[in-house]
Amino acid sequence: MREEDAGPGADRVDVLLAARLAELRNEQGWSLEELARRSGVSRSTLSRAERREISPTASLLGRLCAVYGRTLSQLLSEVETEPAHLVRASAQTVWTDAASGFVRRSVSPPQAGLRAEVVEGTLRPGADLSYDRPPVPGMEQHVWVLDGSVEMTVDGTAHTLRAGDCLRTRLWGPTRFRCLGTEPVRYAVVVVLP
């Protein structure tokens, strides 16, 4: 798909993301059935995501990233043009998972030769976001809460984080982010690949 066919803003990212998901599966030589087996996502859902009949959720993308050995930032960077050294706020990729109430801004996207990236996450009140496994086992993650409060569960241990708190961890198993209180939670995540 040509970038100019995608249109402006978030719709453009969704169109390019759908095309990239199909490309990744084809690069592996996998059928939809094989990808469904590897990811635990139904064949129907995978097909609809690749055809952009549905907007993939954070959970779905987390499962696919784990299968393909990529972080979500890496996947999103693959649908953008060559990354710049200076990333202006207006040029940062923003992706929204309306189903879970999660908004993700790629503040400092991954770039070849660099192992770290910075992401800003916002969860609406009551939002609950879970990942079965990390996209890259053993990746280091620093979650710094900027506004609000969040309960973050890592490998079965729940941590309550409030504005200013930072949780550092290596991810090997499931994680969960749950917005606490009546206000959105906004946090920065520094991801460092092993």
Q: What is the pLDDT of residue 163?
A: 97
Angstrom distance (rounded) from CA 168 to CA 1: 39
What SS3 class is residue 121? strand
Give the amino acid at 165.
Answer: D
User: Which residues fall within 8 angstroms of residue 2, CB to CB, at 6 or more apart?
Assistant: none
Q: What is the pLDDT of residue 7?
A: 41
Q: What is the pLDDT along the chain (194 residues), one digit of tens a residue?
A: 333 334 444 577 788 888 889 989 988 999 999 999 999 999 999 999 999 898 888 889 999 999 998 888 888 777 765 556 788 899 888 999 988 889 999 998 777 667 889 999 999 999 999 999 998 899 999 999 999 999 999 999 999 999 999 999 999 999 999 999 899 999 999 999 88
- Tokens 């990811």 map to which residue? 39
